[in-house]
Structure 1
Amino acid sequence: MIPFCSLCGNLLFVQEGLHGRIQLVCNICPVFQNITKTVSSRTYYKLKEIDDVLGGEEAWKNVDSTEITCPKCSHNKAYFMQLQIRSADEPMTTFYRCCNHQCSYNWRD
């Protein structure tokens, strides 16, 4: 939770106050609050799978294949597609999916 000043609405900053106490103070108003307990929390976000980013199974339906070796099963063909995932002045990223249906490994170049 980010604390805000009750008078002006600005962000409160952490400073050392009288007798070494740590306080939340407003830089504009004469408002201060003593910090009495430590509050912390962590949120762990789940990373998206590569298929979710690329559009799922539908995105791979009408793509071309090329001769490249799969790093997982050593099959010699893979489907590929190119997407612009960075800014426009960066090159496109090529994504591959192994043509071996038992493998179907995804990687990028």
Structure 2
Amino acid sequence: MASFKYCLECNNLLYPREDKSSRRLMFSCRNCQYEEDADNMCVYSHKIIHTPSEQTMMLTDLATDPTLPRANVTCPQCNHPEAVFFQSSSRRAEAKMTLFYVCGSQECGHRWVG
């Protein structure tokens, strides 16, 4: 959660800025001349959490990856007899383990959840 810093002299919001001469991060007031060094060098952090189904859509050529396990599962779209599979890597506590399948045929590439 983000925390805001306030000026100790006039109680206005402090804004991050770089002290170019010393190349350090500072917080300064736009109303008065108050400045203070930043205790953390991170100004903004944006974390993106992808769901397992989004992750499978990002991956390409899964059928040709020799490191993934294969199963004798028929593809529901093209009836190819083999599929690559992997488990979801969701770290959410409420998520159950899910198997994701990708058709072993390079022409098809159909993805489904088992």
Question: TM-score if structure 1 supplies the norm length?
Answer: 0.44
Higher relative contact order (CA 8 A, sep 6+): 2
Q: TM-score, normalised by structure 2?
A: 0.43
